[in-house]
């Protein structure tokens, strides 16, 4: 089947191993190059515009490049998990947001390191909130990583299960194309801004657009799953997961303290829904065994 062939070629294990190796190498090279540019800027060997200089006025800024590369790879990993299970896909989204918050924290630390004392107090308040958001998101990601795969419980019919997985592979291949186009557009737009003297960086670049598309994909998977899932607990749980990802998307677009609060809310909601579903299925399994 064409879709399976495309999935195996571009999203299969061999492609993943190759891309992972290239990502690590690119992250190391990117970090060293960025660090060198920071050194040259500190020594006044090169100069940048006032807006762009924020990328090089602290050595901690050099961490922004490798984390951005790792985030790009994690998005690819997310697309690969879509045919696996809905729970794993949502968990990957929380992993990506966790790394995104870490990158924001590192960038904020570099700004504090390069700023004057009078501006530090307000930044530390937001920094503390973002660190709390990171802890909650990290804990949520760990909970999802430990969750059992539910794909086999979707249907007892092997043919229906394979059809559902095939439909999700089609969606994954389509998302890969959207990912590449969105990445090219975001990178070219940001690069043009840098050449024009606007070197601002924020989490809305690429991630705001891609998570909008991703939410639509999650909703489509939920709607398609109605053909195979009849249990209310599964449907309600998956709907709760989507609600948490919608909050994540809004948080990406929200700056400062409001964004941190929304990240915390999304992490708490995702964890609560996952744990509630786990408790329900555990009790259901006990009642089935006792009958």
Q: What's residue 290's pLDDT?
A: 55
Average model confidence (pLDDT) across the chain: 86
Give the residue with greater pLDDT, 266 vs 41: 266
pLDDT above 50 for 40: yes
Q: Cα(168)–Cα(217) distance, rounded to whole angstroms?
A: 10
In which band, very low, low, confident or very high, does the pLDDT at 140 lie, cut at 50, 70 and 90?
A: very high
In which band, very low, low, confident or very high, does the pLDDT at 96 lie, cut at 50, 70 and 90?
A: very high
Q: Cα(63)–Cα(54) distance, rounded to whole angstroms?
A: 13
- pTM, 2 dp: 0.90
pLDDT above 50 for 256: yes
pLDDT above 60 for 113: yes
In which band, very low, low, confident or very high, does the pLDDT at 48 lie, cut at 50, 70 and 90?
A: confident
């Amino acid at each position: 089947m064409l879709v399976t062939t495309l999935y195996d070629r571009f999203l299969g294990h061999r492609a993943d191993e190759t891309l992972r190796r290239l990502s690590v190498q690119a992250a190391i090279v990117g970090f060293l190059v960025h660090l060198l540019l920071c050194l040259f800027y500190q020594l006044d060997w090169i100069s940048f515009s006032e807006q762009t200089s924020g990328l090089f006025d602290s050595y901690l800024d050099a961490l922004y490049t490798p984390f951005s590369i790792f985030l790009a790879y994690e998005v690819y990993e997310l697309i690969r998990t879509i045919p696996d299970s809905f729970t794993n896909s949502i968990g990957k989204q929380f992993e990506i947001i966790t790394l995104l918050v870490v990158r924001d924290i590192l960038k904020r630390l570099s700004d504090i390191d390069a700023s004057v004392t009078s501006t530090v107090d307000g930044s530390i308040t937001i920094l503390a909130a973002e660190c709390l958001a990171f802890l909650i998101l990290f804990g949520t990601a760990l909970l999802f990583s430990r969750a059992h795969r539910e794909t086999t419980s979707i249907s007892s019919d092997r043919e229906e299960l394979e059809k559902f997985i095939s439909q999700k592979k089609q969606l994954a291949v389509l998302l890969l194309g959207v990912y590449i186009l969105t990445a090219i557009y975001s990178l070219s737009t940001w690069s043009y801004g840098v050449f024009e003297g606007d070197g601002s960086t924020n989490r809305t670049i690429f991630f705001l657009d891609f998570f909008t598309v991703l939410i639509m994909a999650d909703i489509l998977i939920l709607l398609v799953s109605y053909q195979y899932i009849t249990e209310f607990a599964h449907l309600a749980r998956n709907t709760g997961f989507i609600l948490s990802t919608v909050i994540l998307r809004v948080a990406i677009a929200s700056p400062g303290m409001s964004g941190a609060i929304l990240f915390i809310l999304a992490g708490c909601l995702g964890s609560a829904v996952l744990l509630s579903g786990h408790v329900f299925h555990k009790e259901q399994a006990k009642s089935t065994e006792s009958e």
